[in-house]
Structure 1
Amino acid sequence: MSRSLDGLVLAPVADQAPGQVGTRTRFTYHERQGEIWAEYAGGDVVRGHLVGTREGDRLDFRYVQLKRDGTTSSGHCVSAVVELPDGRVRLEETWEWESQQGSGTSVVEQVTEHED
């Protein structure tokens, strides 16, 4: 199993569609005994939360978020945890909205101190 996500800060490597998470969004992950959760904010997202489980290098979670325009949305995501050659963590995500139409893939990577 890859190392723990607990305390790691990750950010998308590319912007998604307008009004969604983007390169300015920061996810702060927590992990304990197979449970994962995170808070996120930045860009068009005022506040977001995710909660789910981890089995090996697979995350399965639901997310909810509040956007700057006052709307809320929720969805489901399955992610593969990948350790990069430089030791940072990458999540390769497949997601789908449950509160609206849309699905896709995205990549978030661990942010190092000087990137933030």
Structure 2
Amino acid sequence: MIDYDGRKFRKAGDGAAAVAVYRQEDDVVWAEFAGGEVRRGAIAGTQRENGVLHLGYTVVLATGEVICGHTVNTPEVAEDGHLRLREVWERYGPHAATGVSYLDEVS
């Protein structure tokens, strides 16, 4: 298992994106974040033995829109040696969507 506790991640390629500091207790992983277009966000879920995270999320945007969904994050090692999380996500509600994005570990 990967120890995610204390690791920081932000959306890949977006230096202004919110930084989430992950916390972990046993297989439970969670984080809160704010910044950029995000007024407040939270994730919580579990880590599987292979380091993959299964998370639910809720985000309040600067516009006041609330977004909820689920994501499966698969860890990869980036060129610089830091972790990169490949997110396969699904958003629920009136703006339902699916996609793939990346989170990069930051120092």
Query: Same fold by TM (over 0.5)?
Result: yes
Output the CA distance in 2 between the equivalents of 1:89 and 1:32: 19
The question of whether the paired residues in 2 share the 8 Å contact of 1:49 and 1:64 is answered with yes
> Is 1:92 equivalent to 2:86 in the alignment?
yes
Scaled by the length of structure 1, what TM-score is found? 0.81
Q: Structure 1 residues 14, 102: closer, same or farther in 2, change over 3 A?
A: farther
1:34-84 alpha-carbon deviations (Å, 9 max, x no partner)? 001011212111100000000122110100011111121100000101233
Aligned residues: 105
Runs of 5+ consecutive residues of structure 2 not aligned to the other structure: none
> Is 1:59 equivalent to 2:53 in the alignment?
yes
Aligned position for 1:80: 74
Aligned position for 1:25: 18
Match of 1:105 among 97, 100, 107: 100
Runs of 5+ consecutive residues of structure 1 not aligned to the other structure: 16-21
The question of whether the paired residues in 2 share the 8 Å contact of 1:57 and 1:82 is answered with no
Output the CA distance in 1 between the equivalents of 2:52 and 2:16: 23
Same amino acid, percent of matched pairs = 31
Give me the CA root mean square deviation: 1.7
The question of whether the paired residues in 2 share the 8 Å contact of 1:78 and 1:94 is answered with yes
Q: Which amino acid aligns with 1:79?
A: N
- How far did 1:85 drift? 5.1
